[in-house]
Amino acid sequence: MPRPERSYLPRSYLFFGTYRRDLLDSTVRDLAAQREQHLAALRREIDDTTRMIKTLVRDFSRNDTPSEDFVRDINTERAELHHRKIELEAQLAEAEEANQRAPNPDRSTLCP
């Protein structure tokens, strides 16, 4: 049973009219906003990881006589951060590719 607020609209309008286009456009816009937020979050995380790597290197350079344990810990943490950055960059590339394949709201106007 149709909703009361739409009961005055002919059924053909609900399936083939501007109502359908507006509904699809709204959904596509919401999904696009979610994708953009995800991309922005990945970029921020990559920037944070890069900043952490630089901070780690700067802290290491400030130490005049580092012990072997300190050097090993720094190298381990640096390797983990580089690995994390590579993973994030791969996720970002996948997300950007998925964003390119996302539905185009203008296509809904081409449908009958």
Q: Sorting pLDDT into bands at 50, 70 and 90, what band is 22? A: confident
* Strand, helix or coil for residue 89: helix
What b/e string do you get for 3-36 counting C-beta neighbours within 10 Å, with b at 16 or more? eeeeeeeeeeeeeeeeeeeeebeeebeeeeeeee
Helix orientation angle between 18-62 and 68-100, rounded to the nearest 10 degrees: 160
pTM of this prediction exceeds 0.75: no
Is residue 108 in some structural domain?
no
Is residue 22 in some structural domain?
yes
Is residue 109 in some structural domain?
no
Query: Into how many domains does the chain fold?
Result: 1
Per DSSP (E only), the strands in 1-112 are none
Domain boundaries, position 75: 12-100
pLDDT tens per residue, range 84-102: 999 999 999 999 998 888 7
Average the pLDDT over each of 39-53, 54-68, 73-87 and give the range with the smallest value. Answer: 54-68
The predicted structure's pLDDT at residue 101: 85
Please provide the average confidence, as pLDDT, over all residues in the chain. Answer: 82
Q: How far apart are CA 112 and CA 3, in angstroms?
A: 24
Is residue 7 in some structural domain?
no
Is residue 6 in some structural domain?
no
Is residue 106 in some structural domain?
no
